[in-house]
Amino acid sequence: MASDGGYNSVDLTWSQCSRQQLLTFFSEGKAKCVTDLPALGGSLQDWKPGLYYGVDDQCRIAFGSTARACSFTNPDLPVCRVLSCHVNPGDDSSCKRLLVPLLDGTECAPNQWCLKGRCVSPDQLGSSVVVHGSWSSWSEFSPCSRTCGGGVTFRTRQCNNPRPAFGGNDCEGRDIEAELCHQQPCDLTQLDFMAQQCSQTDSDPLYLLTNTASFYTWIPAVGFVKGDEQCRYMCQSKGENFIVSRGSQFVDGTRCEPDSPAAFGSVAACLRGKCQLFGCDGVLHSAKVRDICGVCGGDGSSCSLTSNSYSGGQARGRQSTKFSLVHKCNSGIHSMSPSSLSVLAGDQYIVSGTGSMAMNVTHPSTLDDDHLEYRLFLTPDLLPQMEELLLPGPLEQEINIQVRTA
């Protein structure tokens, strides 16, 4: 039974020599390692090994843990007679081939499976029994992807125990479970974290023309792309205003903008190159949201609505008011008269403050949890009509609202 062979051979069959050596091994009492009781009770189904070990698995066994099935085929080589694998991570341009047939039961085409080096139908395979897919065990949870700011830890399972075959059903349920971890704030904002990843590629050349390397300063492409596309390491060239993917994907836990607005308290974060929604409990796809009081999974009964109004101040003057909104949720401020709002947090103006009206502002950014939103509404004549300040909260510091009257 050879470990490799020549093309058109079927080397995974037993020779007379191999058969005799195995019988001798058992008869001489050297096989005590196989006398222990199996971990699983019952008898095994008469299913082919390829239903349990797909081409990716066979590649990993032959070439190492990073190997995977070749993404293209050679028409001169029947698919079931040669194991073809990508062996270098990230390189899909070449394949290494081992002249051994794929395991019997390996899927080789729609509704066809390998049998002794041939791609055959279920009838030819000798199986009339429908095989429904069953899940493998869960993997261990991965290490947290970030040290602060909300990384992701996840575990996966595969529908390969066995794989569905002969018209059988796929496994039901999800193949991944994930949670947010290390959620204590970082010194950097979520936008800063994305910007840091983009800037790390500044020294990597971009070849817009053949054999001509160009270098750019890369910044986040926030506002230009959303959803899964944003998570594919999309960055904008500063000053040039074009967008390019600078790698395979952002670090898991990098915040993203979902294609449609997320519910209050949900967190949109990149996970394996996709923009995924985590509930307010930090669990992937839990759909748990905060109520109007900011309570995760609450019913809105733990707080009460407070509203007030203010009018006054001198014409063409600036009225400064410190709003005590610390730990308050879903706060809103509306200015209905000709005026100009400025917002001061600590010693930094985050809205206006220059003497002229601000346009729309999101602080620190749309990627950051509990960001502040300022919106300016105009009349049909493009004159200021109303200013709106929305603070989802809960706020961690007092803010100073300044109003300049006309």
Binding site listing:
33, 36
| Strand, coil or helix: 275 | strand
DSSP string computed for 289-314? -B-TTS-BT--S-S------------
Contact by Cβ (8 Å): 113, 105: yes
Residue 183 CB partners (closer than 8 Å, separation 6+): 149, 150, 282
Instruction: Please state the residue numbers annotated as binding site for Ca(2+).
Output: 33, 36
How wide is the angle at C-alpha 268 spanned by C-alphas 289 and 393, nearest 5°? 55
Task: Determine contact, residues 377/287, Cβ cutoff 8 Å.
Answer: no
Using the Cα atoms of residue 11, residue 13, residue 14 and residue 15 in order, give the sign of their dihedral: negative
- Please state whether beta strands 361-363 and 348-351 pair in parallel, antiparallel, or not at all (unpaired): unpaired
- What stretches of 96-240 show up as alpha helix (H) in DSSP? 122-125, 190-199, 227-231
H-state helical runs in 263-387: none
Q: What share of the chain is helix, strand, coil (3-state, %, to 5)?
A: 10, 30, 60
Quick check: 262 and 277 in contact, CB under 8 A?
yes
Cβ neighbour number for residue 398 with a 10 Å cutoff: 13
Strand-pairing partners, residue 181, are 151
Distance CA 74, CA 81 (A): 12
The CA distance from 341 to 178, in Å, is: 42
**Is there a contact between 7 and 82 (Cβ–Cβ < 8 Å)?**
yes
Helix (H, G, I), strand (E, B) or coil at 193: helix
* Token pair belonging to 22: 């195995």
Residue 20 parent element (H or E): helix 16-27
237 vs 246: CA distance, rounded Å: 11
